Amino acid sequence: MSGAILILSGPSGAGKSTIIQRAEKAIGDFYFSISTTTRAPRPGERQGVDYYFTDRASFEREIAAGEFLEYARVHDHYYGTSLKPVKEALEEGKLVLFDIDVQGHRLAREKMGDRITSAFITPPSLAELERRLRSRATDDDETIRRRLRNAREEIEALEEYDYLIVNDDLERATEEFIALARTARLKPGRREAAAFRERWLGGGTES
């Protein structure tokens, strides 16, 4: 069987990156999809490690050419996922992890829905999310307010996801994520299911 796709969404501050880092030794061979963006690099961010940084004109040319699995415009900047490395990772049998927003999840479902398992990761409440955003002291008040507004909108799409992970206990949330990653690998795409069916039927004899 080839690889699988696991999409994670949820508000900034939900702990998605921390959960992935804690779980990476337990989930087997995986590829973490790196997004392409038109925003400027932040201090410490590296090209090809944190993001692929590009300009708006180049990004829009790639949109027109159909070279993105998904893309979205967030805070006046484009973010998207190039199809080529995703396809290569799937062919190598890897689990492909995405950390994308609600818009990106919808677009990815349209293109590769049969291969996708998805989960929404969130703190237990909006109040707890605000506490976490303020305690990490990386954003100004306006940015925090914008993130909270976005979180209110994103939670409305909760029913579109296959699973929900409430990160109120990091160890438990990590264990749930590991179980979900293993489950995602068991989901065959239409092409894989059809190929297996043909092999299965071809291995027997009619009575």
User: Which residues make beta-bridge pairs with 68?
Assistant: 82
Asked, for residue 87, whether it belongs to a domain, the answer is no
Asked, for residue 124, whether it belongs to a domain, the answer is yes
Residue 107 has pLDDT above 90, yes or no: no
Residue 40 has pLDDT above 60, yes or no: yes
Q: Domain limits at 123? A: 4-33+94-202
Asked, for residue 157, whether it belongs to a domain, the answer is yes
Give the CATH number, domain containing residue 186.
3.40.50.300
Asked, for residue 182, whether it belongs to a domain, the answer is yes
Q: Where are the beta strands (DSSP E) in the chain?
A: 4-9, 30-32, 36-37, 52-53, 68-74, 77-82, 95-99, 116-122, 163-166
**CB atoms inside a 10 Å sphere around CB 50:** 14
Asked, for residue 48, whether it belongs to a domain, the answer is no
Residue 161 has pLDDT above 60, yes or no: yes
Percent of the chain with pLDDT over 70: 97
* Local confidence band at 205 (pLDDT 50, 70, 90 cut-offs): low
Domain total for the chain?
Answer: 1
Stretch 61-79: mean pLDDT, rounded? 89
* Local confidence band at 131 (pLDDT 50, 70, 90 cut-offs): very high
Asked, for residue 47, whether it belongs to a domain, the answer is no
Stretch 100-128: mean pLDDT, rounded? 91
Residue 103 has pLDDT above 80, yes or no: yes
Asked, for residue 50, whether it belongs to a domain, the answer is no
pTM: 0.81
Helix 16-23 to helix 170-185 angle (10° resolution) is 70
**Using alpha carbons only, how large is the chain's radius of gyration in Å?**
19
Buried b (16+ CB within 10 A) or exposed e, 95-118: bbbbbbbbbbbebbbeebeebbbb
Percent of the chain with pLDDT over 90: 61
Asked, for residue 67, whether it belongs to a domain, the answer is no
**CB atoms inside a 10 Å sphere around CB 44:** 6
* Local confidence band at 55 (pLDDT 50, 70, 90 cut-offs): very high
